[in-house]
Amino acid sequence: MKNETIGTRIRKRRKELRLTQVSLGTKVGVKGGAISQWEDDKTNPKGDNLLSLAKALQCAPEYILYGEDSPSNVEPAAADTKLVPILSYVQAGEWTAESTIRDLEGNIEYLQTNLELSDAAFTLIIKGRSMEPDFSEGDAVVIDPNVYPLPGDFVVAKNGEEEALFKKYRPRGIIDGQEVFELVPLNDDYPTLRSDSVPIRIVGTMMEHRKYRRRR
């Protein structure tokens, strides 16, 4: 519907679920006055409040933000569904185990999963060919910075460049008192990196891989 605002959609969905502003506020974890402010378009829900609101209204965050034309507008959010923000390679390189959705600004897209993940978990969309054939460009991987990698796990890491890397983790033991590991591509045309040759910081470990079929 044209001329719908964020507040209009919140009010419409709340009434469809027969919730009062107070009861919706309780579900979201805010006071009823905050719901009134949102519905009147005086303020907009953001970050964790947006995720909690979408869960309470049983819809995708994109529906609240963008309306019926959103590609995932009214998919119900199951009780055990976690909405994981999709980061760019630059954002992923700056991410830490203490980062959360509240650290992001602007329009945020999400991936839904039922995995048990930390609040710092994020999604990365694969680009490039260094991890072919197992990972193709456009695939999505869910990363949790609070999970330490085991040998053979896939990780997102930062090596001093502007963007993050997605590679296979291969420990090489303790050398001169320091843990040494390699970041290994699956495509032999790309180089392996060693932590004793370049400074590397592990950002997080892959918990889920969504492989998407590309149309030709």
pTM over 0.75: no
pLDDT (0 to 100) of residue 40: 93
d(CA 182, CA 200): 9
User: For 85-126, how does the pLDDT look when each residue is reduced to its tens digit (9 = 90+)?
Assistant: 999 999 999 998 888 877 777 677 888 888 889 989 999 999
pLDDT (0 to 100) of residue 213: 61
Tokens representing 172 are 């090489």
Residue 169: phi and psi, rounded to 5, are: -95, 130
pLDDT (0 to 100) of residue 72: 45
Instruction: For the chain, list residues with pLDDT below 70.
Output: 1-2, 68-81, 106, 213-216
pLDDT (0 to 100) of residue 99: 86
Three-state DSSP at 50 gives: helix
Query: CA of 111: how far to CAs of 9, 85, 140, 148, in Å?
Result: 21, 6, 9, 22
pLDDT (0 to 100) of residue 87: 94
d(CA 208, CA 96): 19
